[in-house]
């Protein structure tokens, strides 16, 4: 009911404003509608004798309305249909998808059958007011404070996993965000994602500035049950990009008698003139583990609960990526994750072909290898074939 009321309110606001305009060109000048439709077939392989297939139809709708030159409304909806063998083997899929941890429940599952689940969620719904030196956003939005590719300890509001390749837009947060631009390369920012209490809220401030040809940012925050300070910088060492970001989390309870946790990621990347791109990254998680896990599905350790405080379960994780284009239509990449101590490796090769201007075909695989009972072996693989049309 809350979701229906919210959508109706947004539409009423849009069409009410449209009715106030006298010129018929309002839609063309003020309204932008875009999105995509994707079909993806998945084959999950536990061993050579066992393979489970599944299907996903994925649609995204984006509505942007420039109400005035300064006021903008954005609403984006993500719609997915799951069907097939893997869906039928997961009777709790509908309930898991329907969890919405925002202030307003904007998620709903209109169909939840054994082998067919339909899920929709509004993961963007905000108003933005822009002035000459400041900007205010209110509502469900993406607040991305990270600077690195693989891991972002500064991403206090919207932590995500790079392994979730089919969600390029990343999740949003129900928050208020205020930015004040003090110069061309400097700003101060405040953002708050309120919860039912201070220990369920994220409230943070950030200062960005440029010095010695490097971009810096400093962060102070109330991060759920922790007090957090963070920093990041991005620049170059000769022709290579050098980026580092870190956040230190210290519990508010028993502050003097407890120890905190450090999450730090650093990376070097280099782009060749022929378009070849290399990236090498390291993640330190002092609260992580450094020994093999007793888990029946170690593959899930890569895509478990992700927070800025614990982006990976291991103390040390390494990432490497090489990507490039063979021609204007065909590109490929290879990404590797390795969790030291846990002794797990994930390989992610991908190839993308641009069929036409709005059509794209992608083939991706994920293969996990790890230690279980002192044996290093395959922990499962997934092969994904995706066709996408953008509009």
pLDDT in tens, the chain (391 residues): 444 444 444 444 444 444 444 455 667 889 999 999 999 999 998 776 788 999 999 999 999 999 999 999 999 999 999 999 999 999 999 999 998 888 889 999 999 999 999 999 999 999 999 999 999 999 999 999 999 999 999 999 989 889 999 999 999 999 999 999 999 899 999 999 999 999 999 999 999 999 999 999 999 999 999 999 999 999 999 999 999 999 999 999 988 888 899 999 999 999 999 999 999 999 999 999 887 766 555 556 566 678 999 999 999 999 999 999 999 999 999 999 999 988 899 999 999 999 988 999 999 999 998 876 667 778 889 999 999 999 9
In a domain, 19, yes or no: yes
In a domain, 73, yes or no: yes
Q: What's the domain count of the chain?
A: 1
In a domain, 217, yes or no: no
In a domain, 172, yes or no: no
In a domain, 2, yes or no: yes
Q: Work out the end-to-end distance of the chain between its first and last CA atoms, rounded to an integer number of angstroms.
A: 30
- What residues make up the domain containing 118? 1-33+58-125
Q: Where does residue 277 rank: exposed (0-12), middle (13-18), buried (19+ CB within 10 A)?
A: middle
**For the chain, what's the residue count?**
391
In a domain, 343, yes or no: no
Cβ contact 206:219 at 8 Å: yes
Question: Nearest 5°: phi and psi at 23?
Answer: -90, 140
Cβ contact 366:346 at 8 Å: yes
> What DSSP line would sit under 162-185, residue for residue?
TT-TT-TT---EEEEEEEEEEETT
In a domain, 86, yes or no: yes
Tokens for 101?
């941890």
The closest alpha carbon to 287, from 153, 106, 100, belongs to 153
In a domain, 286, yes or no: no
pTM of the model: 0.86
């Amino acid at each position: 009911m809350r979701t229906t009321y919210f959508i109706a309110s947004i539409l009423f606001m849009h069409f009410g404003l449209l009715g106030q305009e006298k010129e018929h060109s309002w839609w063309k000048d003020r309204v932008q509608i875009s999105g995509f439709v994707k079909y993806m077939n998945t084959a999950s392989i536990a061993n050579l004798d066992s393979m489970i297939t599944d299907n996903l139809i994925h649609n995204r709708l984006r509505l942007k309305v420039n109400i005035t030159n300064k006021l903008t409304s954005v609403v984006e909806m993500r719609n997915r249909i799951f069907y097939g063998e893997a869906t039928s083997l997961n009777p709790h899929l509908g309930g898991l998808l329907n969890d919405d941890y925002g202030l307003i429940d904007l998620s709903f599952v209109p169909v939840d059958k054994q082998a067919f689940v339909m899920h929709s969620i509004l993961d963007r719904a905000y108003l933005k007011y822009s002035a000459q030196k400041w900007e205010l956003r209110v509502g469900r939005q993406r607040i991305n404070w990270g600077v690195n590719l693989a891991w972002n300890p500064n991403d206090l509001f919207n932590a995500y996993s790079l392994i979730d390749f089919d969600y390029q837009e990343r999740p949003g947060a129900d928050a208020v965000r205020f930015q004040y631009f003090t110069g061309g390369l400097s700003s101060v920012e405040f953002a708050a994602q309120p919860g039912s209490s201070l220990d369920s809220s994220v409230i943070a401030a950030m200062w960005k500035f440029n010095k010695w040809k490097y971009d810096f940012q400093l962060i102070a925050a109330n991060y759920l049950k922790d007090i957090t300070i963070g920093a990041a910088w991005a620049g170059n060492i000769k022709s290579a990009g050098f980026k580092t970001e870190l956040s230190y989390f210290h519990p508010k309870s028993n502050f003097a008698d407890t120890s905190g946790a450090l999450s730090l990621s650093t990376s070097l990347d280099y782009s060749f003139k022929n378009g070849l791109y290399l990236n090498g990254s390291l993640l330190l998680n002092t609260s992580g583990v450094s020994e093999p896990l007793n888990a029946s599905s170690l593959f899930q350790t890569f895509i478990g609960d992700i927070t800025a405080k614990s982006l990976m379960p291991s103390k040390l994780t390494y990432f490497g990526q090489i990507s490039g284009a063979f021609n204007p239509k065909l590109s490929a990449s290879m990404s590797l994750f390795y969790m030291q101590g846990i002794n797990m490796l994930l390989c992610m090769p991908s190839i993308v072909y641009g069929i036409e201007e709005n059509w794209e075909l992608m083939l991706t695989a994920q293969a996990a290898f790890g230690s279980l009972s002192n044996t290093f072996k395959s922990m499962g693989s997934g092969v994904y074939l995706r066709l996408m049309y953008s509009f």
